[in-house]
Chains A and B, each alone.
Chain A
Amino acid sequence: MEGTFYRLAARRHAVGDITEEDSWLRPYATHGNGYYKRQEECDAHGLSIYASEDDIERARIFVPSLGTKPIAEVVITLNDGTLAHRPLPNVTTHGETHHDWWTTPHDLIPQARVVKPGREPE
């Protein structure tokens, strides 16, 4: 599986920036994630990405803490690891295009470009 995917990036980024390590924290290193500190779990290494920009935008308009994060676009090829389409279970408003990505190499920092700035409060 390959194609263009989207992820929320660190807030400090502006449109056109290339994301860095802080935009690609694995679940085992992310506070609030169910896999925080559970490096032995496979899913603790999967990066959440969305095939649809609309899906990720939907998360941003509902949740103010996500709204301030910019959207980064990343192009993934077959050589970049394993992608699994895993719609978020029991999530009612978005998540159909959610994918988990196990990168190759495992600590890859993808070269994603910020395509949308964080939302301004209305």
Chain B
Amino acid sequence: MIDFTSLQLFGAPLEHVETYIYYDGPKALALRSSIYPLVYLINTVEEDEYTGETITLAVAMTEQRFLAVRSGTISFRDAFTGAPLGSLLRIDWSYDEGIGEAEDSGPAAVATLTNIAVLDAREIPAYWLPAREARLNLPTETVTPYSDRNLVDLSAAQDRTVFAVEVASSRSNITSLPAKTSGQFQVALAGEFEALAREVASGSVAKELFASVLDLQAASFVMVFAVETHSWIQEPVDVTDVLFERLLDMVEAVASGDEATFLAAMRKHDRRARARFLDMLKPLAAVDSGLTITTALAFRGSTTRASASADHVRGAVDAIEAVLPEEHPVSVTRGILTGLVLRTQRFELVDLATGDTYKGSMTDTATEEANGLTVGDTSFVSASINAVIPFAEEDAGKGIRYVLEHIAPHN
């Protein structure tokens, strides 16, 4: 038996981490230095079936690279072929006695170290390398866990609200949140922050506030944001307190798992806030992620948290998307036709009573009725328009689709 932990390599004494392949003894394993943040990956590359003489390779690597090998990000083969100069060792072992001399117990049961030499990774013979497909793919904690305490400390140090968004993915082998998902989420969250700020405060106050990314932790599975102001010295906590209360309420509504409860909570907000919230949930649903938001409000010294599972996030997205748009008829008694393209069935008119402008598509009936009408300052018309309002869309008219159903000249 080869006693790998007895190896007097740099960083010794070495501790056994785990064995990957065992066949009549450990063949591929990892050892960790008890002194330095260093891990040795060991592999058995040659064994004489009859004498037991064995050649092993040991490659030293940082803890971070080891985690990448362990999680399968780096193949087992590349762990050796990519070894920097000086980090790869060839270690030879032998047994004093040959096969068939097993009559008495003796030292031959334990292999003796005969040679250690530094090896250039470029000189590893092909037959000493693992197959290209050899990849450990072991579930691996690749990063330091996120801690709420850090959030409170950060908030206290900066006198402003700091909040963390934890996401997770049940998909195997994902060791960091995909950058696209992270980016989409950050943009949506900034939008949601702005939308809620507009709900809570006046326009000028809302314009002053925004959320920015402070840090990505735990392989970007935790995004830390901070509340910023464009020019104010101090954060308006009366606004941000309410803003975050509403944001956490929305997450809790997702976590309820009840469609009616969730939609009722969403209806408390305007369409912009709903839309941005949907934008937050969509990229997470795409990677089977749940959502946890933890806030450390300015000057509070504590955290508040709301969490929803991946299933509930997906359910919330489905629930929003299943809500049929509201339809409202709009009757224009006297308006001016300011735009008309019969070929593409598009129109634009201004209601002279309200000053509102409507533009959108036309039904076939309205297209027939509009044929022959002229566009201009004196082109007075009466019209019936259907306003289609999606559940979660931009506010202030944006996102509302107008369909012209009837139009006639107004004399």
Does residue A83 face the partner (Cβ distance < 8 Å to B)?
Answer: no
Q: Which residues of B contact A31 (CB under 8 A)?
A: 51-52, 95, 99, 108, 111
Q: Which residues of B contact A64 (CB under 8 A)?
A: 43-46, 127-130
B27, B100, B106, B129 — most chain A CB neighbours (10 Å): B27
Q: Which of A27-42 contact B (CB under 8 A)?
A: 27-34, 36-39
Q: Which of B1-56 contact A (CB under 8 A)?
A: 1-2, 18-25, 27-28, 43-47, 49, 51-52, 54-55
Q: Which residues of B contact A74 (CB under 8 A)?
A: none
Contact A90 B108 (CB under 8 A): no
A-B pair count, CB < 8 Å, reads: 122
Partner of A48, one of B20, B23, B52: B23
Does residue B104 face the partner (Cβ distance < 8 Å to A)?
Answer: yes
Q: Which of A3-47 contact B (CB under 8 A)?
A: 8, 10-11, 22, 25, 27-34, 36-39
Contact A65 B47 (CB under 8 A): yes
Complex CA–CA separation, A60 to B134 (angstroms): 9
Does residue A116 face the partner (Cβ distance < 8 Å to B)?
Answer: no
**How many chain B residues touch A (Cβ–Cβ < 8 Å)?**
46
Contact B49 A10 (CB under 8 A): yes
Does residue B286 face the partner (Cβ distance < 8 Å to A)?
Answer: no
Q: Which residues of B contact A11 (CB under 8 A)?
A: 49
Does residue B221 face the partner (Cβ distance < 8 Å to A)?
Answer: no
With A33-B24, A36-B102, A59-B27 as contacts: A65 and B136 at CB distance below 8 Å: no
Closest to B111 in A: A32
**How many chain A residues touch B (Cβ–Cβ < 8 Å)?**
39
Contact B49 A32 (CB under 8 A): no
Complex CA–CA separation, A91 to B25 (angstroms): 11
A60: min CB distance to chain B, Å: 8
Complex CA–CA separation, A32 to B28 (angstroms): 13
B21, B44, B54 — most chain A CB neighbours (10 Å): B21
Partner of A88, one of B22, B51, B100: B22
Complex CA–CA separation, A67 to B76 (angstroms): 14
Partner of B109, one of A37, A66, A90, A94: A37
Contact B27 A66 (CB under 8 A): yes
Does residue B214 face the partner (Cβ distance < 8 Å to A)?
Answer: no
Q: Which residues of B contact A8 (CB under 8 A)?
A: 23
Q: Which residues of A contact B54 (CB under 8 A)?
A: 32, 65
Q: Which residues of A contact B126 (CB under 8 A)?
A: 121-122
Complex CA–CA separation, A90 to B18 (angstroms): 7
Contact A22 B49 (CB under 8 A): yes
Contact B23 A66 (CB under 8 A): yes
Q: Which residues of A contact B131 (CB under 8 A)?
A: 60-62, 67, 119, 122
Contact A63 B44 (CB under 8 A): yes
Complex CA–CA separation, A82 to B358 (angstroms): 86
* Chain A positions 92 through 122: 1 when the CB is less than 8 Å from some CB of chain B, otherwise 0: 1111000000000000000000000001011
Does residue B171 face the partner (Cβ distance < 8 Å to A)?
Answer: no
Contact B105 A37 (CB under 8 A): yes
Binding site for B on A (CB under 8 A): 8, 10-11, 22, 25, 27-34, 36-39, 48, 58-68, 88, 90-95, 119, 121-122
What are 22 A-B pairs at a CB distance below 8 A? A22-B49, A31-B95, A32-B95, A34-B1, A36-B108, A37-B109, A38-B105, A38-B109, A48-B24, A61-B130, A62-B130, A63-B27, A63-B43, A64-B45, A64-B129, A65-B27, A66-B21, A66-B23, A66-B44, A90-B19, A91-B22, A122-B129
